[in-house]
A and B are shown apart, each in its own frame.
Chain A
Amino acid sequence: MSAAQTAPVRSKAFLAASRLGAGFGTSLAKLSREPLGMFGFIVLAVLIVVALFAPLIAPFSPTAQNLPNALQAPSWTHWAGTDEFGRDILSRLIYGTRITVQTVFAVTIIVGPIGMLIGIVAGFVGGRTDAILMRITDIVLSFPSLILALAFAAALGAGLETAIIAISLTGWPPIARLARAETLLVRNTDYVAAARLYGASPLRLLFRYIAPMCIPSVVVRLTMNMAGIILTAAALGFLGLGAQPPAPEWGAMISSGRKFMLDNWWVAVMPGVAILITSLAFNLAGDALRDILDPRHDRS
């Protein structure tokens, strides 16, 4: 077995793995024809930068109270106004990006690999394993996810970590289904057969030859999921089951602003705008990614 023989096999798997990175220029060109998608990516880039450099960007402390200054309407000093403790809402929103980004990525990092593992094993092994795994997937898929997340968060005790776990528990099935479908597509291709003939072990086949092929569509799906994660996390926060005060969690901020909504609308409205823009950006970015990475998909 010479290096020249293995090269094509290798490069095919490699190609799949780098489908995300490969043709970056053409992807960017495609993206520039999608102004909405471009907008989504820009917002997300801003979000991450803001989360990373929150202390440098925020004009005020997110937690320092200034009671004489409470419930000030938006002004040049406080762009988004102040809350009932005189805290600058914009600064709290800026620090809140950290909680949002953390939640979204934590859930994604939990849900992505679990879903992929279940999906590719089911698709690759087939038979009874496939039937059992997919049956479990379908059952979890048929659960009302928000309600279960609520119940789990209540049972485990409120907090950011439990919110993350609660959201993840019902988040993996769509990924598993997708990974299984992709695995079924590539399972019988020539390059996998070739790798098998060369004596690649099942594990090696799974992780070096099949899993990489599933990554592009899984990444698309995960990106589109992120919008839903933000909304669920905000709902948990709103009900007091997410990050605890004084942490500037957006959903919790809406909840506390609700008491003043009739006279001081900005306290509840501003965090909602932040949630809306972020979740919109994830949706737009997900749509655009799908168009770029998944040529089979027809926008209809």
Chain B
Amino acid sequence: MKEFSVIELAKRVGQLLVSLFALLVVTFVIGRLLPTDPVGAIVGELADPATFAAMRARLGLDLPVYQQFWIYFTSLLQGDLGTAVLTGNPVVQDLSAAFPATLELATLAVIISTLLGVPLGMMAAFFRDSWIDKLVRVLSLVGHSIPVFWFGIVGLVIFYATLNWVGGPGRVDVYLEGLVEPKTGLLLIDSLLAGDTEVFWNAVYHIILPACILAYSAMAYITRMTRSFTLEQLNQDYVIAARAKGASNWRIVSGHLLPNIAVQLITVLAIAYGGLLEGAVVTEVVFSWPGIGQYMTNALMIGDMNAVVAATLIIGIIFMVLNFLSDLAYLLLDPRTREATT
């Protein structure tokens, strides 16, 4: 049994590597699809042929495609993704500055959606066909159908402009910007580390709306999956036995149900997390959130393909690694999958 797990693990790692390689190829192709000639963009349309050729050679565009790919691949391994046109910085530097903002937003969103979505899904299953089940169904249907960027705008109009319950766009109010020294880049944690409660509460005030908006779309998915996992378990003999022994609903949930659906839930949460990173891209634009999404869309506008490709690559890698980890959790934590495959 143990040995089998190792083989299976090696197989999964191999699959991840193949997928990552495919992602590299796709991003390489995207970077070279550009309808405008990058050489022309740099030297100008009217440059003489010699300048053109020199620039082509400097950019490595005169090499065969496989060599260009090799250069792309090796420089990537060295952490070099080129220079961003917009900022003039190395793309990697820009991305590592922007990433914590996205991470903070998506993480808070996944926490909110889990805390709400899992209990809601369980309640919907426990009280099947009751009003709460119907409410959950409507909530998740709308969550699947709502354009998240529009929801963000509506949220801003209602909760910021009209009610003034939350902060507006940005991570903090302008007058508080840059007061806290970035250690982790996560503003909520940095401000606490610095002991600056004013910045902390202001940051909370700003992040809460975009996090809730993002959380809602993930919650739709988490609730639906939790509901169906729970329903599956409720019909099992062990639940009926526990009921017959007089266990309370709470005892059944905490002692019997949760351990049984935990692994499936982890998978769902990992997928939801990946989805949130993606959803963050458009949400960040609405909330002027200085994360990877905002960075990528700014780069899209001016056709800065180095930055676009790098952002795609980073989000893609995180997405795939999350999927891989959830697969792994399934394999390692759930003894049932081991039995089923041997």
List A residues at the B interface (Cβ < 8 Å): 135, 138-139, 142-148, 150-152, 154-157, 227, 231, 234-235, 238-241, 251, 254, 258, 261-262, 265, 268-269, 271-272, 275-276, 279-280, 282-284, 300
Give A135 Cβ to nearest chain B Cβ, in Å: 7
One of B114-122, B201-209, B246-254, B295-303 at the interface: B295-303
Q: Is the CB of A272 within 8 A of B18?
A: no
**Would you give the shortest CB distance from B136 to chain A, in whole angstroms?**
13
Bound-state Cα–Cα, A286 to B2, Å: 43
A238 and B149 contacting across the interface, CB-CB below 8 Å: yes
Chain B, range 234-288, C-beta contacts under 8 Å to A: 274, 277-279, 281-282, 285-286
Establish whether residues A154 and B281, one from each chain, have CB atoms under 8 Å apart when the complex forms: no
Docked CA distance A197–B312 (Å): 51
**7 interchain residue pairs of minimum CB distance:** A272-B150, A155-B33, A279-B145, A280-B145, A154-B300, A151-B312, A144-B319
With A151-B309, A239-B297 as contacts: A143 and B282 at CB distance below 8 Å: no
Name the B residues within 8 Å of A276 (CB-CB): 142, 145-147, 150
B1-34 vs A, CB cutoff 8 Å, 1 = contact: the mask equals: 0000000000000010011001100110011011
The contact of A154 among B19, B22, B161, B303, by CB within 8 Å, is B303
- Report chain A residues within 8 Å CB of B15: 135, 138
Interface, chain B (partner A; CB < 8 A):
15, 18-19, 22-23, 26-27, 30-31, 33-35, 141-142, 144-151, 153-154, 156-157, 161, 228, 231-232, 274, 277-279, 281-282, 285-286, 296-297, 300-301, 303, 305, 308-309, 311-312, 315-316, 319-320, 323
**Which residue in chain A gives the minimum CB-CB distance to B29?**
A155
Pairwise interchain contact A147-B145, C-beta atoms closer than 8 A: no
Sample of 21 A–B contacts (CB below 8 Å): A142-B19, A142-B323, A147-B281, A147-B296, A147-B319, A148-B312, A151-B27, A154-B303, A155-B30, A155-B308, A227-B145, A238-B282, A254-B149, A258-B286, A262-B161, A268-B153, A269-B150, A272-B147, A276-B147, A280-B141, A283-B144
Bound form: Cα–Cα A136–B309 in Å: 21
Smallest CB separation, A264 vs chain B (Å):
10
Assess whether A227 is in contact with B315, with CB atoms less than 8 Å apart: no
CB pair A227–B144 under 8 Å, yes or no, is: yes
Residue from B22, B300, B315 within 8 A of A144 (CB atoms)? B315
Other-chain contact of A275, B147, B281, B301, B312 (Cβ < 8 Å):
B147
Q: How far does the alpha carbon of A146 sit from the alpha carbon of B21 in the complex, in Å?
A: 19
Q: Given the complex, which residues of B lie within 8 Å of A283, measured CB to CB?
A: 141, 144-145
Report which of B27, B33, B153 forms a contact with A156, defined as CB distance below 8 A: B33
Distance from B134 Cβ to chain A, minimum over Cβ atoms (Å): 10
Residues of B within 8 A of A138 (CB): 15, 19
Residues of B within 8 A of A231 (CB): 145, 147-148
Distance from A223 Cβ to chain B, minimum over Cβ atoms (Å): 13
| Closest beta carbon of chain B to A260's beta carbon, Å | 11
Which listed residue, B26, B148, B149, touches A148 by the CB 8 Å rule?
B26
Partner of A239, one of B30, B34, B282, B303: B282
Contact A146 B281 (CB under 8 A): yes
Query: How long is the Cα–Cα vector from A280 to B19 in the complex, in angstroms?
Result: 33
A150-B281, A235-B149, A251-B147 are known; give 12 further A-B pairs, CB within 8 A.
A143-B316, A144-B316, A147-B296, A147-B311, A151-B308, A155-B31, A155-B305, A156-B33, A238-B282, A268-B150, A269-B150, A271-B150
Determine the residue in chain A with the shortest Cβ distance to B274.
Answer: A144
Q: Which of A147, A235, A241, A272 contacts B312 (CB 8 A)?
A: A147
Q: Which residue of the partner chain, among B26, B151, B228, contacts A300 with CB atoms under 8 Å?
A: B228
- What is the CB-to-nearest-CB distance from B209 to chain A, in angstroms, rounded to a whole number? 14
Determine the chain A residues whose CB is within 8 A of the CB of B154 once the complex forms: 269, 272
